[in-house]
Amino acid sequence: MDRSTGRLGGLNVSESGGVADAKNLRVKLVLLGDSGVGKSCIVLRFVRGQFDPTSKVTIGASFLSQTIALQDSTTVKFEIWDTAGQERYAALAPLYYRGAAIAVIVYDITSPETFTKAQYWVKELQKHGSPDIVMALVANKADLHEKREVPTQDGIDYAEKNGMFFIETSAKTADNINQLFEEIAKRLPRPSTT
Ligand SMILES: Nc1nc2c(ncn2[C@@H]2O[C@H](COP(=O)(O)OP(=O)(O)O)[C@@H](O)[C@H]2O)c(=O)[nH]1
Ligand SMILES: [Mg+2]
């Protein structure tokens, strides 16, 4: 059984458990986006509830997992693949996102270049990702509103045009981090129960 490690706004969070059946999904999630946008910090905030402003966090080759329980008593176990800087090497990306059910594409609201790069990743996944992949567009570092250079509306518009879920987050303040994963979980295709 799951070891529950805490309850976060409607989510039961545990560190282990989750079998792949109709009520208990297990899914691969990849994060894409420029270096420095906060991908690793988002993962650490979600999985460990921590933010470390000093470290250049890189989780590396392994993945972290986190299970959440939804209102309808289904659970979703995310197997989260964070890059160890492979985002710099576009040619390696297909190895990384192969088989992913979910792609979380992250940019930094203070950096228009990272928004452009996010759009590149969306196109790449539309061309080469699995056809039923669930994509989320994440505008991170929302706490830095005084340095904002990408308007919220630009993110909303782009996501809408591309059938993606959009959310602004802050790994630093934890704003919308759990909501991001909860909303993704709700959008996953469910296996049929027959
Ligand atoms: N202000 C602020 N800084 C953040 C946030 N998320 C990440 N950072 C900082 O951005 C830098 C890069 O974060 P990191 O997670 O390593 O980015 P990655 O290369 O995309 O994995 C680090 O110095 C973090 O402290 C955030 O939400 N707000
Ligand atoms: Mg990283």
CATH number at residue 57: 3.40.50.300
Which atom in ligand 1 lies closest to the alpha carbon of residue 57? 16
* pLDDT at 189 > cutoff 50: yes
* pLDDT at 5 > cutoff 60: no
- Cβ of 35 closer than 6 Å to ligand 1, yes or no, is yes
The residue contributing the CA closest to ligand 1 atom 2 is: 141
Residue 176 resides in a domain: yes
- Cβ of 172 closer than 6 Å to ligand 1, yes or no, is yes
Counting ligands in written order, the one closest to the CA of 168 is 1
* pLDDT at 176 > cutoff 90: yes
Q: 79-115, pLDDT tens digit by residue?
A: 998 876 666 677 777 888 889 999 999 999 999 999 9
Query: What is the pTM for the complete model shown?
Result: 0.86
Gap from CA of 149 to ligand 1 centroid (Å)? 16
Q: Tell me the CA distances in angstroms from 49 to 17, 31, 142, one per residue in order.
A: 19, 18, 18
Q: 13-47, pLDDT tens digit by residue?
A: 333 333 467 788 999 999 999 989 999 899 999 99
Counting ligands in written order, the one closest to the CA of 43 is 1
- Cβ of 27 closer than 6 Å to ligand 1, yes or no, is no
Q: Which of the four pLDDT bands, split at 50, 70 and 90, describes residue 169? A: very high
Residue 40 resides in a domain: yes
Report the C-alpha gap between 53 and 41 in whole angstroms.
9
Residue 93 resides in a domain: yes
Residue 114 resides in a domain: yes
Which atom in ligand 1 lies closest to the alpha carbon of residue 142? 27
Return the closest-CA partner of residue 67 out of 36, 9, 25: 25
Q: 123-165, pLDDT tens digit by residue?
A: 999 999 989 999 999 999 999 999 999 999 999 999 999 999 9
Residue 161 resides in a domain: yes
Pocket test for ligand 1, best of 35, 41, 176 (most atoms within 8 A of CB): 41
pLDDT of residue 192: 66
Residue 38 resides in a domain: yes
Residue 180 resides in a domain: yes
Q: Which domain range does residue 100 map to? A: 24-187
50 vs 174: which has the higher pLDDT: 174
* pLDDT at 172 > cutoff 50: yes
Residue 10 resides in a domain: no
- Cβ of 170 closer than 6 Å to ligand 1, yes or no, is yes
Q: Which of the four pLDDT bands, split at 50, 70 and 90, describes residue 73? A: confident
Report the C-alpha gap between 86 and 100 in whole angstroms.
16
pLDDT of residue 10: 37
**Count of structural domains, the chain:** 1
Q: Which of the four pLDDT bands, split at 50, 70 and 90, describes residue 57? A: low
